[in-house]
Amino acid sequence: MADNNGVLARIRDKYTDLSPSARAIANYLQQFPLTIISDSTAEIAAKTNTSKATVSRLFRQLGYASHQDAKQDVVLQRDAGIPVKQTLTQHDYIAAELGNLQRTLESIPAEEINQIAAILAKAPRITLIGYRNSYPVALHCRQQLKQIRPNVRLLPQPGQSLSEDLMDLAEDEIIVVFGFRRRPRIFARMMDALPPERTILLTDPTGQVYQDKVDHTLVCQLGNQFAFDSYAAPMSLVSVLCNQAYTLLGDEGDSRVSTITQMYAQMGELDPE
């Protein structure tokens, strides 16, 4: 590949130099970039009323040795979490989401789910850490755990750094890190600073590079069929873990849920159903 600007950026740069036939292909690829992955050269030619030779020539004009090189470029972008626009049907979304969820949950042994749920239920203290797109998943986990057990905190606090909080980690504290792709640069240094034997990582396949730095690694599938990553599988996995932790807590969890429910009513914090 000539550089790593991506197919769409190269089309924009070269557009005025393209022939009318090449522009027709370029227009189509700008509207449906993922067809570079899914369609053959002949299929792109048929959909744009051009020829295979014109399609191949366009990819060479864009700086690729072949269609296969352009395809690899798009795959690498989506695997890195870079949005690539695509038009899909509702059925496509449903099928992809179900696939992500199934692959995620089937890849984690039931014994490991139970083991981590027991840790979440019984640990004296839990710290959840999530940056950028991982933060909402960590926040969701905190919301569920706080209903069934005490001493759960979420880091980093808005506008705050992390170092002073890591200094206060107790020797019996469990750390759950949410680190999905497009992680900030500080992530690797943070992982080096955490105690491996007390750290659990929820991540996508790219985060497996950190599996030697933690006690448990749970891999979630975010998909690469759409422009933006899907967090249906991570959110569902959090729900599975927290539900199982709630079951393991027994009467202790029930008592806390009941007390919090009474406080909701007393404070009038929730809309009446």
- One digit per residue, pLDDT tens: the chain, 273 residues? 334 457 888 888 888 888 989 888 888 887 777 788 778 899 999 988 999 999 999 999 988 888 888 888 877 766 665 555 555 666 777 887 788 888 888 888 899 999 999 999 999 999 999 999 999 999 999 999 999 999 999 998 887 788 888 888 888 999 999 999 888 889 999 999 999 999 999 998 888 888 889 999 998 888 766 667 788 889 999 999 999 999 999 999 889 888 888 888 888 877 776
Q: What are phi and psi of 216, to 5 degrees?
A: -135, 140
Instruction: Map tokens 């496509």 to a residue.
Output: 92
- Specify if 151 maps to a domain: yes
114 lies in the same domain as 60: no
- CA–CA separation, 134 vs 107, rounded Å? 20
Angle between helix 20-31 and helix 52-61 axes, rounded to 10 deg = 80
- CA–CA separation, 146 vs 233, rounded Å? 21
261 lies in the same domain as 149: yes
Q: Give the pLDDT score at 157.
A: 83
CB 209 within 8 A of CB 223: no
Q: Which domain holds residue 145?
A: 108-267
- Total domains, the chain: 2
Q: Give the pLDDT score at 2.
A: 37
Residue by residue, DSSP assigns 53-87 as HHHHHHHHHTT-SSHHHHHHHHHHHHHTT------
CATH number at residue 48: 1.10.10.10
Contacts of 65 (CB under 8 A, 6+ apart): 1
